[in-house]
Structure 1
Amino acid sequence: MAKIKQIGMAAGTFSVALGIGFVMQNGDALAARFGADTAAEQPAPFAETVEVDAAADVIDPMVMPFEEPIVVAQAGVASPKAPDLATPNPVIESAVVLPEAAKVPPQPQAPIQLAALDPEEMPEIETDAIAAVEVDCVPVMSATASTAATVALSVSAPCHTSAPFTVHHQGMMFTAMTDASGAADMNVPALAEVAVMIAAFADGDGAVSTVAIPDFANYDRAVLQWQGETSVMLSAYEGNANFGDDAHIHAGNPGDMARLATAEGGYLVKLGNASAPDPLMAEIYTFPSGMIGVTPDVMLVAEAEITAGNCGQELNAQSIQVSPTGATSALDLTMIMPDCDAVGDFLILQNMFEDLTIASR
């Protein structure tokens, strides 16, 4: 490595807590939350019966309450207009004329009345519709295996727009952010052959998804993670690379996915949204060990820059290393950064990783 201004930190100068083993986090799908009056009585139809004496010559208007008398013409009874007597068996036409008061009044149409709704007797379909609206607020996440043993994550949370959330995977954690519609998409390097991904929002809402990674055994993975602005970085020196060479892979020179596809070298990705308050950040280096056929020679180094923001402050970081066999190791680091007169220098955080040459033996 080229000579640069660095301060080597021996293993005994800071407290290192070794811890291997992870709690597989599983999330349960969040469950979803959430009389009639009788019609008016119809009026009885007009049903009064009027009896007429056929033998009477005159109908007394005082007997029946009609404005005009009923005129009845019958055979053998004189009428104002008699039929022609020369016609045998004459046909006598009779007619009854009813006054207006005797006509059947029109039946009024029954008024339309709305039944009062009893909340306890509401139709089941309406209850289901209300529940469906509430279920739409529950975040959902899909996970699909992608190139170079990565997972394509898609989160949809319509009720968590422009909101931060934490992605958990095999001990790795980083902060992501939804957009104005509550969606977020990202590619995450897998740290297990069966990758369990969890998205957790601050209010307790979340989603979980699981996907199998078919090409997991082709890659070594190294993770350096921290919280806030600690200015730490993961460097991978491939082959005989020195600081600043093309084969010195770090956040400023991350390589690309093409190097993985052609087994030329590794690739580094930085995850976490720095605009979120006190975000969780992670850098993940991937090397195609299983595709090269020879023992890889990569030196992995965790470094921290001494800045005005972290000088004299406590630094917390964690490393995770995963081999193609799935063997996993983790190491926690807690230390006090040097005083502010060392601003601009770098610390080499020793023993945070095993070089891939050593790890592959």
Structure 2
Amino acid sequence: MSKARRYITAGGTLACALGIGYFMQAGAQSPAQNATAIPGPALEAPVEITQIELTSAGAVPPMTAPEPVALPATPVTLAVAQDVPLTDTLPEEEIAPSFACDYIMEARAQAAAMVEVTLSAPCQPNTNFTLHHNGMMFTAVTDDQGESTLTIPALAEAAVFIAAFEDGEGAISTATMDTLALYDRFVVQWRGGEVLHLHAFEYGAEFGGSGHVWANASEDMTRALKGEGGFLTSLGEPNLDQGLRAEVYTFPTGAMLQDGVVHFQVEAEVTDANCSRDFEAQSIATGAEGLVVQDIVLAMPDCEGIGDFLVLKNLFNDLKIASN
């Protein structure tokens, strides 16, 4: 109880006590005291009352209680719904509709030991994924419909291609490459931007001259099919800062009609993203010696050298061609 409420209760009790005392004091006075306290004339003579007759109302008998209502002669039948017997088979739960997302990838062998890889992933529109093939990997992106079509140089006769999304979903496909033995391939791969460039100098070609094959003069597979020289394939999404990239040089060693030598060099550009740090890359080569893989670690110059290039001339052995 609050303090204010205690104060209110105490005050009320006191007022009641005072009132009771007053009435008790007034009721304690004798009739004589009351008479002497009232002034006035003398009392008149008493009046005699005679012929008093006592009357009373006749006795009223008590009301009779109502008779109980008789039950109907026909007994009342209580009806209940019949129980439905349980069966062993419970009703099947209705399956909620869901959006099916099938990942479909196909690989088709093409000319010059190239493979057309098509991917359909309706649940992955405009999404990055990594394409893996025999140690080579690069980043690609699906279109608005979740589809992608890529043309990839094969690195194995039993070629396996894997598309892997960041959420763990993906697809796999295979292709048999019967003509791969006619071609030699040289790969450099790295992460992030236009950093590495693979240069092939065919038959003593000078930089920028005929027979110098690189990203700015990549040629195409028609040249290889005719036995005239090689071509370069760039793989990976160029607009991704941390995307995986690769360049592949293909030379038709088994179809050339001219003897000669192909020299190689790899250039690494110094950028603000790799200056003053180690830059990691990898090389892959196919040919008579099988698959040869090398890890590359470059100690890049300090950031005052942004825009300069490191030149690697011994990453690949010269390719010597004997005419067929």
Q: TM-score range by the shorter chain?
A: 0.5 to 0.7
Q: Distance in 1 between matches of 2:238 and 2:109?
A: 26
How far apart, in 2, do the equivalents of 1:343 and 1:159 lie? Answer: 41
Separation of aligned partners in 2, 1:137 and 1:280 = 26
For residue 357 of structure 1, give the secondary structure of its aligned residue in structure 2: strand
Shift of the alpha carbon at 1:275? 2.4
CA distance in 1, matches of 2:227, 2:321: 19
Q: Distance in 1 between matches of 2:157 and 2:271?
A: 38
1:265 maps to: 229
Name the CA shift for 1:359/1:139 in 2 (closer, same or farther; >3 Å).
Answer: farther
Using the alignment, how far apart are the partners of 2:173 and 2:267 within structure 1?
33
Report if aligned partners of 2:259, 2:322 keep a CA contact under 8 Å in 1. Answer: no
Residue correspondences, number: 235
Q: Distance in 2 between matches of 1:222 and 1:155?
A: 25
Q: Which runs of 4+ in 1 moved over 6 A?
A: none
In structure 2, the residue matched to 1:148 is 112
Query: 2:193 touches 2:240 (CA, 8 Å); kept in 1?
Result: no
Runs of at least 5 residues in structure 1 that lack an aligned partner in the other structure: 1-118
Of residues 118, 141, 145, the one that matches 1:181 is: 145
| 1:233-263 deviations in Å (ceiling 9; x for gaps) | 1000001111111211110110122211111
2:291 corresponds to 1:328: yes
Task: Quote how far apart the aligned CAs of 1:276 are.
Answer: 3.3
Q: Is the 8 A contact 2:131 2:138 kept in 1?
A: yes
d(CA) in 2 for partners of 1:164, 1:296: 41
Cα distance change, pair 230–281 in 1 and its aligned pair in 2 (3 A): same
**2:118, 2:148 within 8 Å by CA — same for their partners in 1?**
yes
1:326 Cα offset (Å): 7.1
Unaligned runs of 5+ in 2: 1-88
Alpha-carbon distance in 2 for matches of 1:359, 1:350 = 22
Calculate the aligned-residue CA RMSD, in Å: 2.4
Q: Report if aligned partners of 2:193, 2:241 keep a CA contact under 8 Å in 1.
A: no
Q: Within 1, Cα distance between the matches of 2:147 and 2:274?
A: 33
* Equivalent residue for 1:122, pick from 92, 104, 117: 92
Deviation at 1:214, TM superposition (A): 1.8
What amino acid maps onto 2:148 in structure 1? A
Pick closer, same or farther for the CA change 1:326–1:201 going to 2, 3 Å: farther
Partner of 1:347: 310
> 1:198, 1:207 within 8 Å by CA — same for their partners in 2?
yes
Per the alignment, do residues 285 and 259 of structure 1 end up closer, same or farther by CA in structure 2, a change over 3 Å counting?
Answer: same
Paired position in structure 2 for 1:242? 206
Tell me if structure 2 keeps the 8 A contact 1:319–1:330.
yes
Quick check: 1:138–1:206 contact (8 Å CA) kept in 2? no
Shift of 1:277: 5.0
The answer to whether the aligner puts 1:213 opposite 2:183 as a matched pair is: no
Q: Indicate how the Cα distance of structure 1 residues 218 and 278 shifts in structure 2: closer, same or farther if over 3 A, else same.
A: same
Q: What is the one-letter code of the residue matched to 2:91?
A: E
Percent identical pairs in the alignment equals 44
Q: Spell out, residue by residue over 1:90-135, the C-alpha distance to the aligned partner (whole angstroms, 9 max, x if none).
A: xxxxxxxxxxxxxxxxxxxxxxxxxxxxx96328xx75x95xx55x
User: In structure 2, how many angstroms separate the alpha carbons of the residues matched to 1:251 and 1:230?
Assistant: 10
Deviations along 1:212-249, one digit per CA (max 9) or x if unpaired, are: 01211111100000001261110000011111112111
Q: 1:120 to 1:247 in 2, by over 3 A?
A: farther
Scaled by the length of structure 1, the TM-score of the pair is 0.61
Q: Deviations over 1:29-70 (max 9, x none)?
A: xxxxxxxxxxxxxxxxxxxxxxxxxxxxxxxxxxxxxxxxxx
Q: Quick one: higher RCO (CA 8 Å, sep 6+), 1 or 2?
A: 1
Q: Distance in 2 between matches of 1:289 and 1:262?
A: 12
Q: Secondary structure at the match of 1:121?
A: coil
Alpha-carbon distance between aligned partners in 2 of 1:231 and 1:263, rounded to the nearest angstrom: 30
Q: Conserved in 2, the CA contact under 8 Å of 1:316 and 1:333?
A: yes
1:294 is displaced (CA, Å) by: 5.1
State the TM-score, normalized to the length of structure 2: 0.68
